Amino acid sequence: MKIFPVLHRGSLLALALGLETAALWLILDHSLYERNLMTAGFCHFTASAIAGYIFPRIIVPDRYESQPATGDFFFALVFYLPVLGLMGLVLGIPLIAGWSSKRSQNSDSSVRVNKIRDLPSEVAATHGHPVNSHGLHDLYQSRDPSKRLQAVYATLKLEDRDAIPLLRMALGDATDDIRLLAYALLDRKEYRLSKRIEQAKQNLEKQEDSGKKQLYRQIANDYWELAHLGLVQGEAKNYVLGMAYKYIELGLVYSPEDSGLLFQYAQILLRLGRYQEALQEFKKAEMLGIEFICLQTYYAEIAFYTRRYYEVKQLMTAIELPAVYPLLTTAARFWQKKF
Amino acid sequence: MQQQRYADITLLLEGTYPFIRGGVSGWVHQIIEGLPQFTFSLIFLGSRKSDYGEMQYALPDNVIHLECHYLWDHFFSAKPRACEGNPEYIRESGKLHDWFRNPCSGFDEAALEKLLVSLGQPSGFTAEEFFFGDGTWRQICEYYNKYDAENSFIHYLWAIKATHAPLFKLATVAHQLPVATGAFHTVSTGFAGFLGVLLHYRTGRPLILTEHGIYTKERKVDLQSLFIKEHRDSLGDALDMGMQYQELLWIRYFESLGRLIYKASDPVISLYENNRRRQIDDGADSERTQVIPNGMEIERFLALRTQRPEAIPLVIGLLGRIVPIKDIKTFIRAMRTVVIQLPEAEGWLIGPEEEDREYVEECRSLIRELGLEGKVRFLGFQKISDILPRLGLLVLTSISEAFPLVLLEAFASGLPVVTTDVGACREILEGNSAEDRALGSAGIVTPIADPEATAAGIVALLTDEDLWHEAQKAGARRIEKYYTQSRMLDSYTRIYDEALAQ
């Protein structure tokens, strides 16, 4: 499709409109009917080809690679609906441009990136009571054991991903009561997930094929949470990731085109250090609808592990600062430096 | 067993010897058996009779009396009857409660003695007056309005009743003790310690306190665990409901009992230095405190050293009750890493499984989950002399310990140890003084709840014969120098002699 590489989009659009107008004029002229018909046909075909080239680029944002099927669609639309097809598309451009820019704003990386990666947020709120996890970390630094104990209790108000790092830190506390409370809280979180897994595995045996898909997804997700939240460590963590891998593959047998499953599958592969496979699965998930912006940091991570540092820089530079998650801001700043 | 009217020492035992096996019970048995020159009477305090089975120890001949009381059986069954309640007692007990709230100030010992000696007596304050007296009701309402009005009155009332009811039962036990005693020795604070206080003030005989763990801390942990267990699915809601307040009330209660017991006891003994400091922080007079570590009858274990095979067995043992505080799950997770590096290795869990069946099932489930069937085995309770020579390493993954005797047993039988850094474990393994540390390390100390560190310690010792033998020698040297049974028994002989001479 790269037959108009040097012309500006506006010029190409004008050219297409001109060709379509010329074709219409030739058809309406009865003096040299047969020759006009051939010329009009050629003009209409060229206008359709230009439309097939230009409209995917206007509608699909720059960061996405346009697919050949999209071009074919616009070509067919203009070709089989002479005049009306092209006119409709041209009139629709302002609407499309407005929608596209709004969509772009909504998926701004600096706003959403922490949710994408499931990173600890600055302020976690539950039950309507905001609890600042960084404030709790400060409270936990107190020399007064009762304040440290208070900080550990307050993790009950945090979501797991925010609470667990503090609880793991408290496992090494010099005061027994604090250490034991942290241990008990971590143990309960792990118990809850393990129990769910056990229950779901029992249900699998009773379930018909149609219901199995959801159970596979749930089991894989719970195994993933155990590893991802840091509730298991070392070799046990690898084992748990292996189990998440096994169950998500079983789930994919039933839904090979489920973008959510593929996204999680790719994350597991990434944690297992299988970078190329992870990249392929992330790409598949993207093709099936997951936005590029959601995958940006994963691509950067894979590029980093596979030592493609220039690519890491490109991807990290696209993150607007300050990012919501402070550690990501630090990382992004590092990669945005000019060396 | 022949009934006599006098015992040198009355041991006050809460939830341990002779019905429950464990470190404290083993120590009690060791003391009774090791000091045949003294006669003992035993008062066992339990929760409910149905919670205990048969006696787990054969009582030595110098035990001349045993009585058992269950604090939560027949809570209070008298028919309600209107009464006013002793106003003077209520006023004085109010002052005592003020002291509990603000222990920095002093409290008149004579007034305290009067209150405690007359507790449960018609001349003082009976259980009936406590449960049905108008004066009591007015005091409860006044304290509720003054201190806790923002919380539920029903919760407050039941907490007050539940905390005070056992005290009346203990007062009855103290007044009905059929044996004259030279000295009382309580093996914890809490209810047993409080009984000791009542007996001390009633008879004027000395009270000795030996704390293995710190009772108040352990109850705090129990309450925390219960809180978490009961609200495992809605912890956030539980916090909103103000559950912490009930918990704090109970913790303050045990702290107050502890303060009374520290005040009445001399000496106040702990097993290691950190616990002595904690006792002082909790209100013990530092002049009365002393440390007497546990000791081991090494001779019993010498034969075990010779039974040890030449090659180090790839068997890792954890000896202890299968309960959450031993963190068996960390041991199981560590075994996952160990068997990858040492495929022939096996983990043995050796200890009773009756105490927390639900936790045992969780552990079994984890073994299945990690694919460790056949690699980690539950052996139940075993005779220690049969099991120790078959092990290549002893592992302790506890999240809380005081002074685990099992470490000394391992050293005595020539077994190195990997243990978590809790209680006295580090000083037992690495030494307490410069001279002690010069003996070397008898194993590896790891952080709690860290399966990878535990596994690394296990693999390091099992794959490096020189390191293993060095640790074995260090353990044997340390126990022979610092932790002999005779050293411990000599200390208690001196303490008992001094108490009986008063």
Taking CA–CA distances from B223, the nearest residue in chain A reads A181
A127 touches chain B (CB under 8 A): yes
Contacts of B336 in chain A (CB under 8 A): 235-236, 239
A146 touches chain B (CB under 8 A): no
Q: Do A235 and B455 make contact, defined as CB atoms within 8 angstroms?
A: yes
Count, residues in chain A: 339
Contact A136, A164 (CB under 8 A): no
Residue in A92, A171, A83, A109 with CA at minimum distance from that of residue A320: A109
B237 touches chain A (CB under 8 A): yes
Contacts of A194 in chain B (CB under 8 A): 362, 365-366, 369
Contact A83, A20 (CB under 8 A): yes
Query: Could you identify the residue written with the tokens 């894989």?
Result: A220
Task: Walk along chain B (502 residues) in steps of 10 and give the mean pLDDT of each run.
Answer: 76 94 89 96 93 92 95 75 88 87 77 89 89 92 85 86 91 92 95 96 95 80 66 49 63 88 94 90 92 89 86 94 90 94 95 88 90 93 89 93 90 95 92 91 93 95 95 94 93 97 91
pLDDT score of A77: 85
Average pLDDT, chain B: 89
A172 touches chain B (CB under 8 A): yes
Q: Are strands B376-380 and B393-396 parallel, antiparallel or unpaired?
A: unpaired
Token pair, residue B193, equals 């310690």
Q: Do A177 and B327 make contact, defined as CB atoms within 8 angstroms?
A: no
pLDDT in tens, B313-328: 999 999 998 988 899 9
Q: Do B449 and A183 make contact, defined as CB atoms within 8 angstroms?
A: yes
Measured in angstroms, the CA of A216 and the nearest CA of chain B are apart by: 16
DSSP 3-state of B208: strand
Q: Do A236 and B371 make contact, defined as CB atoms within 8 angstroms?
A: no
Compute the distance between CA of residue A160 and CA of residue A253 in angstroms, rounded to an integer: 31
A232 touches chain B (CB under 8 A): yes
CA distances from B421 to A171, A179, B395, B450 (A): 11, 12, 12, 11
Contact B404, B418 (CB under 8 A): no
Angle at alpha carbon of residue B170, lines to B169 and B176, rounded to 5°: 95
- Nearest by CB to residue B448, choosing from A171, A185, A232, is A171
**What global pTM score does this model have?**
0.69
Q: Do B240 and A127 make contact, defined as CB atoms within 8 angstroms?
A: yes
Q: Do B447 and A171 make contact, defined as CB atoms within 8 angstroms?
A: yes
Neighbouring-strand partners of residue B43? B12, B67
pLDDT score of A302: 93
Q: Do B236 and A198 make contact, defined as CB atoms within 8 angstroms?
A: no
B324 touches chain A (CB under 8 A): yes
Compute the distance between CA of residue B43 and CA of residue B421 in angstroms, rounded to an integer: 34
Token pair, residue B316, equals 């890792």
CA distances from A234 to A239, A241, B334, B337, B388 (A): 9, 11, 9, 8, 29
pLDDT score of A324: 61
pLDDT score of A97: 58
CA distances from B132 to B77, B100, B135 (A): 12, 24, 9
pLDDT in tens, B6-40: 999 999 999 999 998 877 898 999 999 999 999 99
Count, residues in chain B: 502
Q: Do A187 and B329 make contact, defined as CB atoms within 8 angstroms?
A: yes
One digit per residue, the tens of pLDDT, for chain A of length 339 reads: 444 444 567 788 888 888 888 888 887 776 656 677 788 888 888 888 888 887 877 766 544 445 667 788 888 888 888 888 888 888 877 776 555 544 444 433 332 333 344 443 333 334 444 455 667 777 787 888 888 888 888 888 788 888 888 888 898 888 877 888 888 888 888 888 888 998 898 888 887 777 788 889 899 999 998 888 878 888 888 889 999 999 999 999 888 888 888 999 999 999 999 999 999 999 999 998 888 888 888 999 999 999 998 888 888 888 777 666 667 777 888 887 765
